[in-house]
Every structure is written in C-alpha cells, then in structure tokens.
Amino acid sequence: MAFASGKKAWGISDRSGVRYRLAEMRREWTGALVGPDEYEEKHPQLNPPRRVQDPQALRNPRPDTPEPLSIQVGGPVLEDPRIERLRMVGKIGQVTVIT
C-alpha cells in the first residue's frame, strides 16, 4: 500500500481539523498529528518524579557527647545524721522525690 508524500500532500490536524501540508505537520507526545502552530511540547510536570533516597537513620552511630549519668535507685542507704533521708518512688519515665 502506498502513502502520500511530497510537497503536494495534505494532512488534517487531529486537534483542530485544519488542513496543513503533510511535510510541515508534527507528531505530539500524545500521538496526535498537528500543525506547526498547534504543536505543544510535553510539560515536565507530566514526567514522574525521580526517586531520591533520603535516609533518616545512621548505621552504627557514634554520639558526640557521653551518655548521661545514671544513678541506681534502691541501693544501700548510707547513714549520716547530717543528711536528711530521701524516699524515692519511681515509674518508667517518671521519678518522684519525697523529702
């Protein structure tokens, strides 16, 4: 089957139905064959975004400062008459000191 070509061939725009020279017509990213004044480039926002890795955790982290001082509650009580006795009651995440 032979198709028309050359400078005397005409084509009909898929967008407007206007007749253009077939050699001047352009195919859009949608597949539509349109005239040179109707042609539109594909907008960059229609392309999917690139996957950018943004890791949140570090493997084997090393802190800059030393760990906070931990005190064992409920250990042996030192008897000293000059020091008032303290009674401590603790829960996970909360400590109450009663004098």
pLDDT one-digit tens code per residue, 56-85:
777 777 777 665 555 666 655 555 555 555
Please give the residue range of the domain that contains residue 12. 8-41
Two tokens, residue 76: 């042996």
Residue 71 lies in a domain: no
Tally of domains within the chain = 1
Residue 13 lies in a domain: yes
Residue 89 lies in a domain: no
What does the longest C-alpha to C-alpha distance in the chain come to? 115
Give the predicted TM-score (pTM) of the model: 0.44
Read off the pLDDT of residues 42-52 as tens digits, 9 standing for 90 and up. Answer: 988 888 888 88
Q: Is the pLDDT of residue 97 over 90?
A: no
Phi-psi region of 84 (alpha: psi -120 to 50; beta: other; left: phi over 0): beta
1, 14 Cβ separation under 8 angstroms: no
73, 86 Cβ separation under 8 angstroms: no
Among residues 39, 3, 12, the alpha carbon closest in space to that of 21 is found at 12
Residue 84 lies in a domain: no
Residue 29 lies in a domain: yes
More confident site: 75 or 32: 32
